[in-house]
Amino acid sequence: MAAEGTIRSRLRSLLRSNSIKLKKRARHPEQLASKVTLEKVLGITAAGNRALSCDPKTGLLAYPAGSGLAFHKLLHFFSLFFRKAITTLAFSPDGKYVVTGESGHMPAVRVWEVTERAQIAELQEHKYGVACVTFSPNGKYIVSVGYQHDMMVCVWNWKKNVVVAANKVSSKVCAVSFSADSSYFVTAGNRHVKFWYLDHNKTNKVNATVPLLGRSGLLGELRTNCFSDVACGRGKRSASTFCITSSGLLCEFNERRLLDKWVELRTSQATCLCVSEELIFCGCSDGTVRAFSPFNLEFLCTLPRPHALGTDVCAMTKAR
C-alpha cells in the first residue's frame, strides 16, 4: 500500500510539472510561429475595390487574406500578419505606403511602409470596424469610414496622427473616392452618395478637429438603389463622379452633384469600378468586365474572361 501511494504521488507530481511546461509554452506561441513561413495564399478576402489595391508604378498588388495582408508582384510574394481581420486597404499615390482598416472592437487604421514592411502609424478613432480607407491624391490625408453602427467619417493628417475633420453618416458605406485635386471626396453605399468638402485653411490647424461638410447627391429615380462603388473622374472628366449600383447600372454625377445620366451594364450584379482619363471599367459578379467611355458612357467592349486554372496558355492557338 505504501509503495502504491508513493507511485500515485509521483504520477501526480509528474503530471503537474508537465502541465506547467505546457502552460509556459502556450504563453509564447510566437516561438513556434517564427518557424512557419507562408509561401502562398489561396483565395482572398476582398469586397470590391475597397479591399484590393494595386500600385500602378510598380505593379505590386495588395489584398487581405483573413488577418493577413498579402503582396504579389509576378512570382514575388510576401505577407504581414495582424491580430484582427483586415477589411479594407489602399496604396498611397507614390506607392510607398499602404493603409489598412480592421474589424472588431476598437479597430485601428494602420499605415505601413511597403519596402521596410514596418508599421509607421496607428490611428484609432472608430469603435466597431473600418469599412473603407483611402489616401488623398496629394498624400497628405487619409479618409476612413466606419461600419454602419460606427457612423463616423474621419479625415486624418496621418503623419501627425490627428483627426482634422469628422462627421457622422447614418447609411451603410461601401466605397470612397477622392477628387483629383484633393478638395473633396465621395462616399457611396445603400441609398447613399455623398460629397464631402475639405476646408484646407481649417484642416491645416494642428490638433483642431473641424466639422466635415457633406452634401448629398441628387439621386432622382435611383434614390432607392445601393451604390456598390464610386470613382471620381480624371483628366477632362475630373468634374464628374461615376458610380455603379448593385443592380447593374453605371451612373454619372455632374459638378452640381446631380445624377446626370446612366446606362445598363446588362449583368446580374455590379461590384467594382475603375476610372481613367480614357476608360471606365466595370467589374461584375459573374466575372464579366465591361469598358465604357467616360465622355458619354458609350459601351466599348467586354473584356475576355481569364483562363481556367490548369490551362496551358502557351498551347492555345486562338482566343475563345
Contact between residue 100 and residue 85 where contact means Cβ atoms under 8 Å apart: no
Average pLDDT of the segment spanning 172-200? 93
- CB atoms inside a 10 Å sphere around CB 172: 15
In a domain, 286, yes or no: no
pLDDT at 23 (0 to 100): 44
Q: Would 161 be classed as within a structural domain? A: yes
C-alpha cell at 257: 452633384
Residue 33's pLDDT band (boundaries 50, 70, 90)?
A: very low
According to the model, what pLDDT value does residue 278 have? 94
Quick check: 24 pLDDT over 50? no
Residue 278 lies in a domain: no
Q: Can you tell me which residue has the cell 445601393?
A: 226
Contacts of 272 (CB under 8 A, 6+ apart): 48, 49, 52, 228, 229, 244, 282, 283
What is the count of structural domains for the chain? 1
Return the CATH number at 154: 2.130.10.10
Is 12 a member of any domain? no
Residue 226: inside a domain: no
Nearest to 190 by CA among 133, 243, 263: 243
Of the candidates 149, 198, 150, 145, which has an alpha carbon nearest to the alpha carbon of residue 173?
145
Residue 22: pLDDT band (50, 70, 90) is very low
Domain span at 119: 38-216
Looking at the chain, the whole-number percentage of residues with pLDDT higher than 90 is 49
* Distance (Å, whole) CA 96 – CA 280: 26
- Contact between 156 and 123 (Cβ < 8 Å): yes
Q: In what order do the strands lie in the sheet with 68-73?
A: 53-54, 61-65, 68-73, 76-81
Between 85 and 181, residue with greater pLDDT? 181
Helix (H, G, I), strand (E, B) or coil at 245: strand
Residue 52 lies in a domain: yes
pLDDT at 15 over 60: no
Q: Taking Cα atoms as reference points, which of 123, 127, 122, 81 lies closest to residue 104? A: 127
Confidence of residue 170 (pLDDT cuts 50, 70, 90): confident
Residue 177: how many CA atoms within 13 Å on its side-chain side? 26
- pLDDT tens across 261-280, in order? 999 998 878 888 999 999 99
Give 133-167 as a DSSP string.
Answer: EEE-TTSSEEEEEE-TTT-EEEEEETTTTEEEEEE
**155 Cα distance to chain centroid:** 16
Place of cell 499615390: 93
Instruction: Return the pLDDT at 32.
Output: 43
Q: Tell whether 49 is covered by a domain.
A: yes
Q: Which of 12-26, 84-98, 118-132 has the lowest mean pLDDT?
A: 12-26
**Is residue 48 domain-resident?**
yes
Are 254 and 294 spatial neighbours (Cβ–Cβ below 8 Å)?
no
